[in-house]
Amino acid sequence: MRRVSKEVSGMSADMARDVVERLRGVFRSGRTKGLAWRREQLRGLRTLLTEREAELADALRADLGKGAVESYASELGFVVNEIDHALRHLERWTRPERVAVPRSLMPARARTVREPLGVVLVISPWNYPVMLALAPMVGALAAGNCVVLKPSELAPATSSALARLLPSHLDDQAVTVVEGAVEETSALLEQRFDHVFYTGNGHVGRVVMRAAAEHLTPVTLELGGKSPALVESGVDLAATARRLAWGKFFNAGQSCTAPDYVLAVGDGTADDLERHLADAIRAMYGDDPSRSPDYGRIVNERHFDRLTALLGSGRVVTGGGHDRASRYIAPTVLGDVKADAPVMAEEIFGPILPVLRVPDLDAALDFVNERDKPLALYAFTGDPASRRRVLIETSSGAVGFGLPNAHLTVPGLPFGGVGESGMGAYHGHRSFETFSHAKAVLDKPLSPDTMRVVYPPFTALKERLVRAFT
C-alpha cells in the first residue's frame, strides 16, 4: 500500500482491527520514534498545506462557504504556525528532563523521558475540518505516533481532499485516513487505541469516552458549550461591538469558542451595544451579507432548520434574513432575550447573538456560574477589580479580556475545556505532552555500600519502626 490508506464506507469491526494492527506493527518496528522521521512528517504536512492551499480552500468553500482569507487565517495558516512552532522546539521537547534525587538515594540520577503512546485515533468535526483534523495530528506526529484520522462526513469535500492529498506527503505506512460516518466511527471505537482525541459535541463525547473505557484508553475531549461575553458599562462599546461581531460571525458563528451570548451589565449598556453591533456587522459584511465573499454558510439543512427556529427567541436588532436553498442566515443580533428563551437552551453554533440585560456584575457572575462551565469566557471591562472577580469567581476553559477567540492562536497557551466543555488540552507543547508519556527513570549504581544505605538490614529496620510507634 503505497499511499495513506483511505478506508471507505461500510467498514466492519474486522476491517478496523486490521487497520489498527497494521499500524501497531509499524509502531513496534521503531520507525516513528526517531527525530528525523518526526521532522519529515511535519515538513511533509507543511508542504501539503502550502502547495495544495488552493485545493483545500476550494473544499472549504464547498462545505462551508468560507472565503480565501478566512480559510487561510483559521485553517491552513493556523496549522502551518503549529507545525513551525513544533519544528522549532521539537528537539528540546524530546530531551530527557533531570529530576532531583533525595539524599537517601545518593549516589543516583533521575530523569523523565518522553515516549510516544503508540497508535492514536483523531476524530475531527465539520466546522473547521482542516484545522481540527490536522492540528491534533501535528502533536501526534511530533510525539512519534502512528495516526488514524477520521474526518467529518458532514464536510465531505474537505474529507475527500484530505484523503486524496495526504498520501503523497506523509508516511503511508504510519498514517491512515478513514472516511465515512457513524458506522465507520463505531467500528474504529471498538478497537484498542493508545489515545483517542475527539472534537465535537458532548453527546458524542460521552459515546467516545464509554468506548475508550472498555480498553482503558485515555481520551482528550474538545467539546463546546455556551461561552458568555460580559460587557460592563464604561468601556468603548464601538470597539467592543467590532470585536464581538468578528468573534461571533467568523465562520458564520460555527465556532466552538465563539461568544454564544452577551450579558450587558448595567443600565443602558444593552441599548448602546445593540446599536454598535448593527454598525459593526454592516461595516464587516456590507448592507447585504449574502453577497459578501467573507461571510460563510451553514453546513447543512438540518443545522439551518435548527437555527432558524431560534430566531423568534427575542427582538431582532439586526439581521434575521435567511435562505434555505443557499444555507444562508444573516448575522443576527437578538435583544430583550430572556434566560429561559429557546436560544439559551443549548449552544447556538450559528450566526445568532442574544443580548441579555443584567443589573450588575454580581448578577452576571451568578448567571454564568449557574450553568455548565464554558469552553471560554470573554469580558469587556476597564475595571481591574472586575477582571480579578471574573478570573477568581468563574471557571472556564479559557478567559479572554477584550478579544474573543484569539487565545487559540497563542501556541504557549493550552486549549481545552473543563467539565461539560471538555477534558485535556493541546496546542504547542501541550499537544506533544498529550500524545506522549513521561516515563520515570532512576539510575542507581550497583554498590554494596550504597545499597546498605538505601536498604538497611531488616532487623534494624524493624527495631526502628517499633521505637517509632511505641
Helix H, strand E, coil C: the string for 55-102 is HHHHHHHHHHCCCHHHHHHHHHHHHHHHHHHHHHHHHHHHCCEEECCC
Rounded Cα–Cα distance for residues 378 and 151 (Å) = 30
End-to-end Cα distance, the chain: 71
Q: Cα separations (Å) of 49 from 36, 60, 65, 138?
A: 20, 13, 19, 12
Q: In the structure grid, which three cell numbers stand for residue 406, read together? A: 484569539
Q: In the structure grid, which three cell numbers stand for residue 313, read together? A: 427567541
Rounded Cα–Cα distance for residues 116 and 238 (Å) = 49
Which residues, listed in sequence order, are joined to residue 443 by a DSSP beta bridge?
109
Q: Cα separations (Å) of 181 from 152, 390, 458?
A: 7, 40, 62
Q: In the structure grid, which three cell numbers stand for residue 298, read together? A: 451553514
What residue type is assigned to position 236 of the chain? D
Q: In the structure grid, which three cell numbers stand for residue 170, read together? A: 506523509
Do the Cβ atoms of 199 and 171 come closer than 8 Å? no
For the annotated catalytic residues, the residue numbers are 222, 256
